[in-house]
Structure 1
């Protein structure tokens, strides 16, 4: 115990010495006056507020949300004194290639709900706050999902609708197929016209579940990449996606691990679970967008030099 105490005291003293030495060092690269000027100008709080502003938008590729976020960034850049801020646009239609990368068409969603229902599907309509009608359903009028328990809402949490989902209005039984990436996962299970519950990303099961076994749609509880804190919060919902260029178009909804476990337990006990899924979404020709601006330099000797920061 005495040895441990002496060691702790030694480390504490060493820490104080090193800390004092560190504080005595002059800041690198810039004179102290310039560092002080930067410290008085820069604000972590403002940066956080700007990040909060960007996070309000669901920024899927080429989407309305991404464009709104780009406009927000351009406005902030101009507010900070840069006069040449611009939003560069690069066509994305699924045909154009940038180098070896085939452009993925823009994807937008206007509505998405997943309900657990009992009995036959009810047909109704609800008014939407959307001002556009890219999918030809009727301005401000969308089919609304109906049921006894709402499981997912795009309006409340846009992340629940997997990217590249297509429009759908499906009422079907739910079938647990485990991971869903192997044919053996479907052995002895009839998934034709039904919604499959999978642990893999929707895109990883799309061609097998929908293309080969004729499932009507996908509910996924795919988890984030495994890390030291992986699985600590079972209420989290991961961003999900389908395969952009798959011929087997479908929809996918994402749920939390906790929700999936409850569903799997009920299905394992022989209970029938019926879901009603409604999505109004789809791919379309659009643009990739990049906000750009230049900070003018002061050294005339370097007027022909540029530093690119991306």
Structure 2
């Protein structure tokens, strides 16, 4: 009997244990589910969670990397037949695009100035103090500077240190010899060969000579030698090899080298690949996705920028499939994919296809996308458009980028979900790194600049820094399938949002821009208040107040233009402008409220300093600047980002030291915007206020002197009203 009772109690005990365990499991699942739901509500972007999950599941970083391996498996010596037919990379892109279901796939060629150069043999030998092969283009394709002349030369080496200034050559006889220097090959050619009679140059120019001593930079010399001169030859050396050579010379040993080069030239051409994903016919607008396939035909960078082409190819593949499966809405607008020789190819294509150009409402440009971020100490950076080109595109792109980046963080607030990323976006053979991102101000030097020059808003995605770009070490082994996958998710989502946008998406984008614009205006206020708070000179308090007011006024004008730009996404852009007018008015009210806060803080600062508050008035110099219009003079090669080709090294060399110092007074990070403003026929004061509002206060006297010198050089025209 006792045994029976014990057995019954044990059974009841086990049943209770199982019930308790079940309750705990159910409770844990409930907590986890609630946490997950709350988390998903916090993480939001312009596309739905369902759509983002579909993109995450489909986009393949492995496929993107495979594209790179097909495009540039290794830096190779390009066969001459490619110059007569089509280039390997163009064929690869066109082949995959057709397989993936792209439409209107076409390889197109445009003539270009100058001839193309391709070596078929290139060897550099040390003859003295020991016999050794130093370089062979079949080992390192970029070791021979582009445009080097064919021939066999043997000569003694002269070390000129940097070799970037005439003083570096003082007391050194380089006639008939080979110049060794750390300056770029083109600079050594000009100073060493053209001006002093050297037969060739050795450059060990390197971005990071101590961190990567075996890295060889991709370089070129000019084929257009002055009359009576020869172009000669140039070799790019690693810092390690150059230092060894310098060591020989420092010990008094003679260094003699022999250069053997055979090269062919071909008519200049710009080869582009174009493909489309057709819209549904409901819109007469188009969208562009861009990356550069070539940067010259000698350098074949895996990351710069075959990675961008490989990535965008995968974006299109994933998008086509998701639309076909009904997981993403079909595009209203035709999406164009353009893979080109950087900058020049984009310009040539847009100039020919003016009918398409006028329909493009946005471009997403991808330049250097696949690096493993942790190994290069890099961020994946979204470069916004400059304030001279306000657009919704910045906020649309930022929303999606930040959404994906937040998924790739392990957040302690959500540890009930487990110790992991919120939603892993990783590839089977890729890293498990966090997604290091940054949203930064505008930077040029890629194809997005050309689109803006043609009136098309464009943002750039890029990995930076890239420790290996423009060098012998820009190879596929540096790339990460996980980074490709994340970039593909961001790019595909942004592309889908623009291509399929109608009234509903347009309102979402306008709301995104309005909210982010409020944040940016808050940043502008904080910057302006800091001018007042940091000012220790009572007499300068008024100027700080003027700068604070200008910063807020500038921000408000930019944000109003951003809101207006979203009208293009509505089914009827004209109706969209009317609908958005009320939001523009709200921005103006916000600016007035913030201005009131600045006024109050100015009053407080004045009281603390026992200073008298004053109403800002124009000074005599400001009145003069307001009457003077500054216009850019466009010469051959002029355009976005330069001064018509008139402000180069030769022009600056003729200036006095005082004038050269004046050109250094406008910071480099302002000059691209300055050039755009010079094309808008603004007064000097308007230009100063714009630059000061976007960046930091710029002394009017500095800008005036800068423009006066540029006028002397022929790059700017100053007209008094």
Say whether the fold is shared (TM-score over 0.5).
yes
* Counterpart Cα distance in 2 of 1:170 and 1:197: 15
Closer, same or farther: CA 67–57 of 1 in aligned 2, 3 Å? farther
Tell me the CA shift for residue 91 of structure 1.
0.4
Equivalent in the alignment of 2:141:
158
Closer, same or farther: CA 78–244 of 1 in aligned 2, 3 Å: farther
Residue from 239, 244, 250 that aligns with 1:268: 250
Which protein, 1 or 2, shows the higher relative CO under an 8 Å CA cutoff with sep ≥ 6?
A: 1
Alpha-carbon deviation of 1:217? 0.7
User: Is 1:307 equivalent to 2:317 in the alignment?
Assistant: no
1:87-106 alignment runs, 5 A limit: 87-94=107-114, 105-106=115-116
Structure 1, unaligned runs of 5 or more = 1-17, 95-104, 120-146
1:240 is aligned to 2:219:
yes
Distance 2:63 2:210 in 1: 32
C-alpha distance 208-190 of structure 1, shift in aligned 2 (>3 A): same
In structure 1, the partner of 2:206 is 223
* Shift in Å, 1:160: 0.4
Contact 1:63 / 1:108 at 8 angstroms: preserved in 2? no
Alignment correspondent of 2:105: 85
Selected match of 1:111 from 111, 114, 121 = 121
Whose helix fraction is larger, Structure 1's or Structure 2's? 2
Residue 49 in 1 paired to residue 49 in 2? no
Aligned twin of 1:73: 93
Structure 2: stretches of 5+ with no match in the other structure: 1-34, 291-721
Give me the CA root mean square deviation.
2.8
Q: Larger Rg: 1 or 2?
A: 2
Which of 289, 297, 302 is matched with 2:271 structurally? 289
Question: Once structures 1 and 2 are overlaid, which stretch shifts more, 162-171 or 269-278?
Answer: 162-171
Instruction: Tell whether the 8 Å contact from 1:57 to 1:69 is kept in structure 2 after alignment.
Output: no
Residue 148 (structure 1) shift: 2.3
Q: Is the contact made by 2:126 and 2:134 (CA closer than 8 Å) also made in structure 1?
A: yes
Aligned to 1:135: none
- The equivalent residue for 1:7 is none
Offset of residue 111 of structure 1: 1.4
Q: CA deviation at 1:253?
A: 0.8
1:198 equivalent in alignment to 2:218: no
Deviation by residue 1:2-28 (Cα, 9 ceiling, x = unmatched): xxxxxxxxxxxxxxxx99965544552
Check conservation: 1:64, 1:108, Cα contact below 8 A.
no
Q: Is the 8 A contact 2:215 2:239 kept in 1?
A: yes
Change in 2 beyond 3 A, CA 1:148/1:214: same
SS at match of 1:172: strand
**Distance in structure 1 (CA, Å) of the matches to 2:219 and 2:75:** 17
Offset at 1:118? 4.1
How far off is 1:194 after superposition? 1.2
Deviation at 1:82, TM superposition (A): 1.3
The alpha-carbon deviation at position 263 of structure 1 amounts to 0.7
Deviation at 1:264, TM superposition (A): 0.6
- Decide whether the 8 Å contact of 1:220 with 1:253 is kept in 2: yes
Call closer, same or farther: CA 1:286–1:268 in 2, change over 3 Å. Answer: same
The change in CA–CA distance for 1:57 and 1:258 in structure 2 (over 3 A counts) is closer
Distance 1:113 1:264 in 2: 20
C-alpha separation between the residues in 2 aligned to 1:57 and 1:86?
A: 25
Q: 1:174 aligns with which of 157, 162, 165?
A: 157
CA distance in 2, matches of 1:22, 1:173: 69
Give the match for residue 208 of structure 1. 191
Corresponding position of 2:235 = 253
Q: 1:223 deviation in Å?
A: 1.0
Asked whether the 8 Å contact 2:177–2:200 carries over to 1, the reply is yes
SS in 2 for 1:85: strand
Q: Deviation at 1:181?
A: 2.6
Q: For 1:47 and 1:186, how far apart are their aligned partners in 2?
A: 49
TM-score by length of 2: 0.32
The offset of 1:282, in angstroms, is 4.8
- Offset, 1:44: 0.7
* 3-state secondary structure, aligned to 1:206: helix
Structure 1 residues 235 and 23: alpha-carbon distance in aligned structure 2, compared to 1, 3 A threshold: farther
SS at match of 1:245: coil
Normalising by structure 1, we get a TM-score of 0.72
Number of residues of Structure 1 aligned to a counterpart in Structure 2:
249
**SS of corresponding position for 2:201:** strand
Shift, 1:273, TM fit: 1.0
C-alpha displacement of 1:37? 2.7
Do 2:179 and 2:188's aligned partners in 1 also have CA atoms closer than 8 Å? no
**Inter-partner Cα distance in structure 1 for 2:36 and 2:157:** 60
C-alpha displacement at 1:287, in angstroms?
A: 0.8
Which position in structure 1 is the counterpart of 2:693? Answer: none
Equivalent position SS for 1:307: strand
Structure 2 SS opposite 1:155: coil
TM-superposed CA distance for 1:243, in Å, is 2.5
In structure 1, distance between residues paired with 2:68 and 2:271: 18
